[in-house]
A = this chain, B = another copy of it.
Amino acid sequence: MAADVARPAKLGLCVACHGDTGISRIPGTPHIAGQDEIYLRKALTEYRDGRRHGGPMNAAAGGLSAADIDALAAWYAAQRWPAAAEGTP
């Protein structure tokens, strides 16, 4: 659960689009609360390394270390995703 995972030092890079808890408020931006942790690490690494292209994601991930990526993936994977009825418009 979220309470067991340390708040990542680089979380500020993410929150404008994905929120503190991974629930996007911007249409077209994925929700990442409770997302598979391995998938999140893979996505961030691919964005950082230019193997996946996602507009602001490449800039946001560009300076992340492997430890930063681990911390961010663990954080968002540990968040709770509200059921669709409550969580998405």
Chain A contacts to B: CB under 8 angstroms: 1, 24, 27-31, 33-36, 38-39, 42, 51-53, 77-85, 87-88
Contacts and interface: CB of A to CB of B under 8 A. Distances in A.
A50 B4 CA distance: 39
Nearest to A40: B30
Copies of this chain held together in the complex: 2
A80 B83 CA distance: 5
A34 B83 contact: yes
Contacts of A1: 84-85
A82 B21 CA distance: 15
A45 to B, nearest CB: 12
A52 B42 CA distance: 13
